Structure 1
Amino acid sequence: MTTRVGYFPNNNSLFVLRHRGLLERRLPGVEWVDLRSLPAAAPVEVKTALPTLHSDWLFEPGGYDFVGTGFTPPVTGLAHGRDLVYVGISGPRVENGRLVVRDGSPIETVADLRGRRVGIAHGSWQTTLLLFALDKAGLSWSDIEPVDTAVHDGPAAFLGGELDAWVGAYPALGGVERETAVRTLIETDGLFSHPSLWFTRRDFAEHHRDELTAIVASLQESDAWIVAHPREAARYFAEDEGAASESDVDRWEHALRNRPFGLHPVGEDFLDEQRRAAELLAANGLLPRAADPRAAVLPWLNELLAEPAG
């Protein structure tokens, strides 16, 4: 059979695995699906909805059987009734990004964001970070003007003054920091753990255990290689951007060195975070309901990931 694996640069682990060819040695029938080549999701109103692209293509013909994303997409899929299950999570990625303003901005605290334009890649972990930050400050989603900057449009909008604040992530945030002085409004650390997630359909997990086991083993092997060879891994990302200078490689190497690699079991603390996110997203009108993430956990997958890699 053919196993279709979705990948894109934002999930660093799958992107490097695609380039290294390790999975093909364990799973000859693998087919890689570049998420950037799939039709874009229908536009959504940033004030009232979250996009469901990742979970949609998990269940659509021509989509994929396995994918890795950030914190928010699987919560969104579950809330829309998608029968997906978690395969594993990374360690916390609290150094990956944060909510910033330009140095000299009159915005001193998150509470000052009321009525302000805040840039996020809507539907990603950035939506959750911003919502957690607002809730901590006693604000709701309706108190701000969220702006969907996608992943790559944020720097230009922030530098151009179109945004009052921005949830930036490395390496893009690093590029902005070289252009201008920024001030951190709130760190990710202490707000939520912000791991990567890998997930699949329940039917695939139930009927293709060998294929999932091969994917997990290959990701673990590839992630160990990234940790040992971050500069070589960084070249894959720089070249994908069409930016092969050593400074571009430096930028990506810095980002990779500050990210955790390896897949881990889905634990209770993480599930509590996901449940809280689901409840807040639903309460603020961004999801139709608050689905329970514990329904997406399969014990055998947690047992697999609890075993020593090898």
Structure 2
Amino acid sequence: MTDDTPRGTAPSRRTILRAGLGAAALAPLGMPALHAAERTVRLSYQRSSTLLTILKAKGTLDERLKPLGFAPSWHLFTSVIEPMNAGAVDLHADVADAVPIFTQAADAPLTFYAREVGSPSAEAIIVPEDSPIRSIADLKGRTVGVSRGSGCHFILAAALKRAGLAFTDIKPAYLQAPEGLAAFGQGSLDAWVIWDPFLAIAQSKRPVQVLADATGLSSYHRYYLANDRFVAENPGVVGIVYDALRQAGRWVKAEPDAAVALLAPIWGDLSPEVVATVNRRRTYAVTPVVRSELGEQQAIADTFREARLIPRDLNATAVKIWQPAAERG
């Protein structure tokens, strides 16, 4: 998730620090990290990174990586494309399906290593319940909040196209999710396109109308990516993280009350009802990435190219993929 303008060049040290990585980011950018573990696995995560948040909170990777001589370090981002393009961490936050299109367009050296099966109801275009806007077509000339380069950016573009509108027919307000939540609550936006948990938070704060969710537009798969070099040099570490993610996803569904109790305070003391809604809408089913199942990625790439959001045509299936040993031929 990100509202940063996608770029192919590495960000400045100030940008990385502002994004939340801090001193640990400086090593890959040519400066020594302070007090870094000898063999540290740098992982990024977002507020929507449920499974990674669970692994961090439980200390699962601390325990499982120790026999390999590694220790995890965790870095929270609200904007992810720049750190992904810069290679600022080793294993990146799970991202909505649209984000890898921008990183691929920037030639970022990234490998897909896991996919969370789609949850199309977990992102939506919403308006206040008392708004005169009743359809996507009614968004013409309206101010619509969206995070640039996010899966919601694609949902908005695709929904407008389906309604016979161009992206230029609206007034996009490019906002990070927390900023969008505030702006929507203050009435500064006519509509907002957003994902969980922010979608569930907005719905809990005031009555809203869902103009459309991702159903019929996108499956809203979430992808886990890692730096090419790290994957090549440390496949065993990637395998441990992959297995831990799968188990965390199963735990959320098998122990929903325990998952709510763990996540609510981490997500800013959200009500149990909001967290339960988020967890109900997400599948959390982690699977290997299969090239033949990346067709929706191509549709996203083509839509963004048509809207001039990426600079060139892409073959969205021509990406590097790591698979667990059991899936390899």
TM-score (norm 2): 0.79
Match 1:9 to one of 44, 47, 56? 47
Shift of 1:258: 2.1
**Cα drift, residue 79 of structure 1:** 0.4
Partner of 1:69 in structure 2? 95
Alpha carbons of structure 1 residues 304 and 18: separation in structure 2 relative to 1, 3 Å: farther
Q: What is the letter of the counterpart of residue 13 of structure 1? A: L
Instruction: Give the aligned partner of residue 82 of structure 2.
Output: 53
Distance 1:275 1:250, change over 3 A: same
Give the match for residue 181 of structure 2: 155
Aligned pairs (5 A) from 1:43-122: 52-57=81-86, 59-60=87-88, 63-122=89-148
Partner SS, residue 301 of structure 1:
coil
Q: What do you get for the CA RMSD once the two structures are aligned?
A: 2.5
Return the alpha-carbon distance in structure 2 between the equivalents of residues 19 and 114 of structure 1: 44
SS in 1 for 2:263: helix
1:189-200 correspondence to structure 2 within 5 Å: 189-200=215-226
Find the aligned partners of 2:232 and 2:61 in 1 and give their Cα distance.
20
Other-structure match for 1:169: 195
**Identity among equivalent pairs (%):** 25
Letter in structure 2 aligned against 1:231: D
The one of 313, 316, 322 equivalent to 1:293 is 316
Q: Which residue of 1 aligns with 2:264?
A: 238
Matched, 1:258 2:287: no
Q: Does 1:225 align with 2:251?
A: yes
Gaps of 5+ in 2: 1-38
Structure 2 counterpart of 1:277: 300
In 2, the alpha carbon distance for the partners of 1:157 and 1:150 equals 10
Q: Which residue is equivalent to 1:27?
A: 65
The secondary structure found in structure 1 opposite 2:144 is strand
1:18 aligns with 2:56: yes
Q: Which runs of 4+ in 1 moved over 4 A?
A: 302-307
Matched residue, 1:46? none
SS state at 1:273 partner: helix
The amino acid of 1:207's aligned partner reads E
How far off is 1:303 after superposition?
A: 6.0
Instruction: Give distance in 2, aligned partners of 1:134 and 1:199.
Output: 29
Question: What is the CA distance between 1:278 and its match in structure 2?
Answer: 1.2
* Pair 1:204–1:251, CA change in 2 (3 A): same
How far 1:208 sits from its partner (Å)? 1.6
Extract unaligned runs of 5+ from structure 1: 42-50
1:281 match: secondary structure: helix
Aligned-residue offset at 1:234: 2.4
Rounded Cα–Cα distance in structure 1 between residues aligned with 2:200 and 2:247 = 28
State the SS of the aligned residue for 2:90.
Answer: coil
Letter in 2 for 1:301: Q
> How many angstroms apart in 2 are the aligned matches of 1:66 and 1:88?
11
Deviation at 1:147, TM superposition (A): 1.1
SS at match of 2:220: coil
Distance in 1 separating the partners of 2:204 and 2:235: 46
The structural deviation recorded for 1:268 is 5.5
Q: Does 2:131 match 1:131?
A: no
Give the Cα separation in 1 of the matches to 2:292 and 2:214: 16
Letter in 2 for 1:156: A
How far the C-alpha of 1:229 sits from its partner, in A, is 1.9
Matched length: 288
Q: Amino acid of the residue matched to residue 152 of structure 1? A: P
